[in-house]
Chain A
Amino acid sequence: MNNIATLLALTSLFLLGSSRLSLAINMVAFQGFLIGILPLVSGHGFTLEVLILAATGIIMKSIALPHMLRKALEKSGTKREVEPYISFGASILSGILLLFVSGWIVSRLTQDEGIVSSSLIAGFFLLFTGLFTIITRKKALTQALGFLVLENGVYTAGLSLGSEFSFMVELGILLDVFVGIFLMGIMLFHIDNEFDHIDTDRFDALSDLELPDLELLNGNVLNLDQELDEEEGAE
């Protein structure tokens, strides 16, 4: 359990530091595999439910979704994440900081029980890393990866918190992630087709929010003739 948690944290740190997208996808696939075997070692025994959960987790997170993202990557012709808002080195440092923060939060949260669960720390860390990736990276594909990591975090935290192991909830989360990534894959394809790039920082051109001109507002006294003309034009 502890080893898997450590590996999860390491993969996330690796993700923060890598600029090559195909490597990042592989890393997330590996993470998905780790997540998949997590239920097996979490001490719930080898019941049918646990086996199904592990199998669907591995198939979906380490095979199906990475495959989908890889195809999207091929189609878009992008190779690297360039110029993130926070550079890769700084990202790793922030990752370590986030690891400390999640360790601190978990130690405070589980103070009463006296045991600090390393997989819970990993869960929080994955969650923060996922958010961090979404915020600081520009390629839509990296953001999809960030989302996947975030969901992995939620899953891990849920598993390590769950005294009552809830099979349906976990499966539900898996389905959620699958649909989310699936949609993102489709959207990536369309965005790339439409804009020739998948840089999300340029999406704000789509924003319909413009600062209104106060002068214009002042002059916006409804003019009857204009209204009538407009209407007659529309008829």
Chain B
Amino acid sequence: MDLFLSAVVAIFVGGIIALFTGKWRGVSNFFGAFSCFLGTIFALKPIYDVLIANKTLEAITIALPICSASVSLDKISAFFALPIVILGFISAYFAAVTVNPRNEQHPGAYWFFYNLLIAGMLSLVASSNAVLFIMSWEIMSVAAYFLIAHRVEMNTARNAAWQFLVASHIGTTGIFFLFAILASAAGGFQFETFHSSALAEGSAAVIFFLALFGFGVKVGFFPLHIWMPDSYTFAESHVSAVLSGAMSKMGFYGLIRVLTFLPVHAELWGWVLLFGGLITGIYALVIALVKLDLKKVISYSSMENAGIILMAIGTGILANRWNQPLIAFTAFSGALLHIFNHALCKGLLFLCAGSVYFATGTRRQEQMGGIGKSMPVTATAFGIASIAISGLPPFNNFISEFLIFMSGLKAASLSTPKSLLLSAAVLLGLGLIGGLAAALFTRSFGLVFLGTPRTNRRLNTKNIKSDVNFTLIILSAAIIAASIFAPMLISPFAGVVSEIVKPLGITYDPAYIATISAPVKTISLFSLAVILITCIAVFIKSKFLDKNQRSDAPTWDCGFLKGTPRIQYTSSSFSEPANEVFVSVNRLHIRGEKIKELFPAKSSFHTEATDSAEKHLFIPAFNIINKFLIMFRGFQHGKLHLYIFYIAVTLLALLIWKVVY
């Protein structure tokens, strides 16, 4: 535990040194990045001890101003520290080699907030006290706010950061309330006291829904997700990688942590999580399919995966309720595995997007094309991540989604009406989500990397040093490793699962690990085979078949003569069939007419897509609030005299009130 805390302190102190050495770019970069490397490597050891070596680390008590708080690392904490450590390390490396050498950035401030974010998240997972938890939560949110707003030259980045801050604080009120209820029932802020507290049935439900609201903002639970796409899009790519891969996972951590405080999980909660997750996943993809911005597409995909994970947690709760430990175990294992896998994939996708952005200077998919030829490493990494994130074999997300599928299938075998509903939701929902995700990433991959360039924009591949490719290769390797060694991940994650359900008085049969490992082993072997065969095939092709065979020729031009690169499929045309089905959800705004005659005149076509939840829910709601609050704007007139008059009147009134009563 000492080691873990010193890691947190090292990262934090490194950030401060980087802040004060901001004048000297290299020095600041060195301290910021190096402390991150050091801290994350230090932190790996206690995580390993807890998660794999099954040791219990002694809790340490820290004296806070009001009370004392203890930090400890149990299995759940260690599991959630894992994505932070991995992505914290890789993104720090990515930042050190790409962004900060650029002149317009102030490296000191950047590293300070980056390290603060990582340190805040690590202390969040380690804190076993509500006060420390909320403090770390706030540190994390505020650091993230400054990181998003860091690109000061962009108005939109500032707007996005502002949106994030507001959303995050609205969520935090929920967290405050839930801990207040828990603490008043338990008579203390320590997490251990929460376990033994006697909660009324009603207040447990209130706590759960407050948690779903408060932490749902972070994970992107529909409709609390509206801050998410913009924030991830306008932050620097490696920041988005950390935000999406690690910070949004903190929402799941909070939710799961709160679930362990509650003695009984009601069936309703399971249904809410299941259908909430389903709606979140499908909605995210439907909106993503009309988005033109590469990073926005990836952001919405984060939300989609959050939906899948929530569905799995919901399934687990329901199965526990129905005394089906095997199904619950499978679902929870799938959820955890998916959290881990998604962190890897999303990190890689965002870093790839950053690499593409450096080369092209745009995030607009419609202006890219043919990048794969000049950036083969990025293209390959993006391809691997796309396949993985769509939940297709042979990569790791397929395995975690497979476990969730398996829990759904097993639920069907119970053949009660409720279990059939559950399995229908899981199987059909995951199927639809998987299909849409595959379409989404096929579109993105094809538009960005395949075909011929759509504009004359010169690719600036000089920016892409081998260092950048190195981070992409590491994360790709991590995805491949997570696919091949998935069976070995199951038993440590099973420990986490049993810790989650321990307060419910449920223990899972250790034999379950073998039960679900068996099919996973088969899949992993298959994955290994597919990957090996692909590698060999690529090797043979490049070694023996590629020689002098390449020639540039126009692609099939659909009967149009003199085709230009712009005749290629666009993102709108690719997703048009899906849009026709989902137009009631995504409310695509179309300007211009489709061409009907044989000899058409000049015409234009333009589509615009906004997030329906934002346009039809939040903007009207906030307008109503605004109309009410605008009445108070009269008090804010900028007249100094009247401001002092307010103070004087208050003072006099208080004095008179004091002497009269």
A211 contacts which of B154, B622, B633 (Cβ < 8 Å)?
B633
Complex interface: chain B residues within 8 A of A132 (CB): 648
- Report the bound CA distance from A218 to B639 in whole Å: 29
B362 touches A218 (CB 8 A): no
| B590 CB to nearest chain A CB (Å) | 14
| A107 CB to nearest chain B CB (Å) | 9
| B121 CB to nearest chain A CB (Å) | 28
Complex interface: chain B residues within 8 A of A109 (CB): 659
B637 touches A225 (CB 8 A): no
Task: Tell me if A217 counts as interface (CB < 8 A to partner B).
Answer: yes
B648 contacts which of A131, A200, A204, A235 (Cβ < 8 Å)?
A131
Give the nearest-CB partner of B651 in chain A: A131
| B465 CB to nearest chain A CB (Å) | 19
| B244 CB to nearest chain A CB (Å) | 19
| B338 CB to nearest chain A CB (Å) | 29
Complex interface: chain B residues within 8 A of A207 (CB): 637-638
Task: Tell me if A220 counts as interface (CB < 8 A to partner B).
Answer: yes
The listed residue with most B CB atoms (<10 A of its CB), out of A134, A214, A218, A231, is: A231
A221 touches B615 (CB 8 A): yes
The tally of residues in B whose CB lies under 8 Å from a CB in A reads 43
Known: A108-B660, A211-B630, A218-B623. A227 touches B156 (CB 8 A): yes
Complex interface: chain A residues within 8 A of B74 (CB): none
- Report the bound CA distance from A27 to B171 in whole Å: 57
The B-contacting residues of A in range 216-235, CB under 8 angstroms, are: 217-218, 220-225, 227-228, 230-232, 234-235
A209 touches B638 (CB 8 A): yes
Known: A222-B230, A224-B291. A131 touches B644 (CB 8 A): yes
The A-contacting residues of B in range 609-661, CB under 8 angstroms, are: 609-610, 614-615, 619, 622-623, 626-627, 630, 633, 636-642, 644-645, 647-648, 651-652, 655-656, 659-660
Give the nearest-CB partner of B636 in chain A: A209
Q: Mark A35-62, 1 if CB is under 8 A from B, else 0.
A: 0000000000000000000000000000
Task: Tell me if B153 counts as interface (CB < 8 A to partner A).
Answer: yes
Task: Tell me if B155 counts as interface (CB < 8 A to partner A).
Answer: yes
Known: A105-B656, A134-B644, A232-B362. A221 touches B619 (CB 8 A): yes
- Report the bound CA distance from A85 to B292 in whole Å: 59
Known: A206-B638, A228-B293. A223 touches B644 (CB 8 A): no
Task: Tell me if B75 counts as interface (CB < 8 A to partner A).
Answer: no
B640 contacts which of A200, A221, A235 (Cβ < 8 Å)?
A200
Task: Tell me if A195 counts as interface (CB < 8 A to partner B).
Answer: no
Complex interface: chain A residues within 8 A of B195 (CB): none
Known: A105-B655, A109-B659, A221-B614. A228 touches B648 (CB 8 A): no
- Report the bound CA distance from A134 to B640 in whole Å: 9
| A223 CB to nearest chain B CB (Å) | 7
| A148 CB to nearest chain B CB (Å) | 15
- Report the bound CA distance from A217 to B630 in whole Å: 13
- Report the bound CA distance from A212 to B292 in whole Å: 30
- Report the bound CA distance from A228 to B623 in whole Å: 26
Complex interface: chain A residues within 8 A of B633 (CB): 209, 211
A218 touches B641 (CB 8 A): no
Complex interface: chain A residues within 8 A of B652 (CB): 101, 128
A214 touches B638 (CB 8 A): no
Q: Mark B241-278, 1 if CB is under 8 A from A, else 0.
A: 00000000000000000000000000000000000000
The B-contacting residues of A in range 123-178, CB under 8 angstroms, are: 128, 131-132, 134-136, 138
Give the nearest-CB partner of A211 in chain B: B633
The tally of residues in A whose CB lies under 8 Å from a CB in B reads 39
Task: Tell me if B608 counts as interface (CB < 8 A to partner A).
Answer: yes
Task: Tell me if A196 counts as interface (CB < 8 A to partner B).
Answer: no
Task: Tell me if B443 counts as interface (CB < 8 A to partner A).
Answer: no
Task: Tell me if B321 counts as interface (CB < 8 A to partner A).
Answer: no
Task: Tell me if A201 counts as interface (CB < 8 A to partner B).
Answer: yes
Task: Tell me if B361 counts as interface (CB < 8 A to partner A).
Answer: yes
B619 touches A218 (CB 8 A): yes
| A83 CB to nearest chain B CB (Å) | 13
| B297 CB to nearest chain A CB (Å) | 12
B623 contacts which of A134, A217, A231 (Cβ < 8 Å)?
A217
Give the nearest-CB partner of A227 in chain B: B156
Q: Mark B82-124, 1 if CB is under 8 A from A, else 0.
A: 0000000000000000000000000000000000000000000
- Across chains A and B, the number of contacting residue pairs, with CB separation under 8 Å, is 92
Complex interface: chain B residues within 8 A of A131 (CB): 644, 647-648, 651
| A98 CB to nearest chain B CB (Å) | 9
Complex interface: chain A residues within 8 A of B639 (CB): 201, 204
A85 touches B641 (CB 8 A): yes
A225 touches B656 (CB 8 A): no
B640 touches A204 (CB 8 A): yes
Complex interface: chain A residues within 8 A of B292 (CB): 224
Complex interface: chain B residues within 8 A of A136 (CB): 641
- Report the bound CA distance from A218 to B622 in whole Å: 10
Complex interface: chain B residues within 8 A of A108 (CB): 659-660
Q: Mark A106-122, 1 if CB is under 8 A from B, else 0.
A: 00110000000000000
- Report the bound CA distance from A101 to B648 in whole Å: 14
B641 touches A134 (CB 8 A): yes
- Report the bound CA distance from A109 to B661 in whole Å: 11
B627 contacts which of A105, A204, A214, A228 (Cβ < 8 Å)?
A214
- Report the bound CA distance from A132 to B450 in whole Å: 74
Known: A105-B659, A214-B627, A217-B626. A200 touches B641 (CB 8 A): yes
B638 touches A135 (CB 8 A): no
- Report the bound CA distance from A221 to B614 in whole Å: 8
- Report the bound CA distance from A227 to B626 in whole Å: 25
Complex interface: chain B residues within 8 A of A135 (CB): 641-642, 644-645, 648
Complex interface: chain A residues within 8 A of B609 (CB): 224
- Report the bound CA distance from A211 to B633 in whole Å: 7
Complex interface: chain B residues within 8 A of A232 (CB): 361-362
Complex interface: chain A residues within 8 A of B150 (CB): none
Complex interface: chain B residues within 8 A of A200 (CB): 640-641
Complex interface: chain A residues within 8 A of B608 (CB): 223-225
The listed residue with most A CB atoms (<10 A of its CB), out of B155, B608, B648, is: B648
Task: Tell me if B363 counts as interface (CB < 8 A to partner A).
Answer: yes
| B366 CB to nearest chain A CB (Å) | 10
Task: Tell me if B25 counts as interface (CB < 8 A to partner A).
Answer: no
- Report the bound CA distance from A65 to B288 in whole Å: 66
Complex interface: chain B residues within 8 A of A138 (CB): 641
B156 contacts which of A203, A206, A231 (Cβ < 8 Å)?
A231
- Report the bound CA distance from A136 to B645 in whole Å: 9
Complex interface: chain B residues within 8 A of A227 (CB): 156
B362 contacts which of A201, A209, A214, A228 (Cβ < 8 Å)?
A228
- Please, could you name 13 A-B residue pairs with CB atoms under 8 Å apart, sorted by A? A105-B655, A105-B656, A135-B641, A135-B645, A201-B639, A204-B639, A217-B622, A217-B623, A221-B615, A224-B293, A228-B293, A230-B154, A234-B153
Q: Known pairs A128-B648, A204-B639, A224-B292. 19 more at Cβ < 8 A?
A: A101-B652, A108-B660, A131-B644, A138-B641, A200-B641, A201-B640, A207-B637, A209-B633, A209-B637, A212-B630, A214-B630, A217-B619, A217-B626, A218-B619, A221-B614, A225-B608, A228-B363, A230-B154, A230-B156
- Nearest 8 interchain pairs by C-beta: A207-B638, A204-B638, A108-B659, A131-B648, A135-B645, A234-B153, A227-B156, A221-B610
